[in-house]
Amino acid sequence: MSSATNITWHEGDVSRDARAGVAGGGGATLWFTGLSGSGKSTVATAVERALVASGRAAYRLDGDNLRSGINSDLAFSREDRLENCRRVAEIARLFADASVVSVVAIISPYAESRELARRLHAEAGLPFVEIFMATPAAECAVRDPKGLYAKVAAGTIDSFTGIDDPYEVPEHPDLAIDPATSVEDAVALVLEALERAVG
């Protein structure tokens, strides 16, 4: 690994305002957190679609997709989960700096990871919205869109977040979405939260 003393940050010649002018608005990160099956990807996909339809540059960073590529070297230990979230937070910040709305759908079970993501954006002067999909584990297990809870019950998966690995519920999310909320209403709530954050 390179020593930090050998690294120099290079400022670009294009301003954020200039990028925002061609991207339909300034960048930000919408960080969806919650258990597997809580609705993160469903709502995030709908939010991305709504933003792009309105003329706003947006890109969804899905946890499974990222683990298929840039994070494919990581497993599910606490250390690897922390590193997974750190990488996603750095990528989201870069997208936001490029005036793209990063729509992150990732379990991010630990408070310290979510705090790091928020801090990275704050230090860069970029809006960050933490959205907690507040669906309890029992309901997620009933939904079980990927069949993961069934595998946990069968003993073929261990260290599963919310069952035998911790999920630290956000204490002060910017938005909490109740499981009874429709996708359409959830999208509206998220877009409202985004506009508040962007100011």
Q: Which of the following is catalytic: 108, 113, 159, 182?
A: 108
Q: What is the CB neighbour count within 10 angstroms for residue 7?
A: 8
CA distance 116 to 84: 12
Q: Strand 175-177 vs strand 28-33: parallel, antiparallel, or unpaired?
A: unpaired
Measured CA to CA, the distance from residue 74 to residue 79 in angstroms comes to 9
**Annotation says 108 is catalytic:** yes
The number of residues in the chain equals 199
Dist. CA 183–CA 47, nearest whole Å: 9
Please identify every residue annotated as catalytic: 108
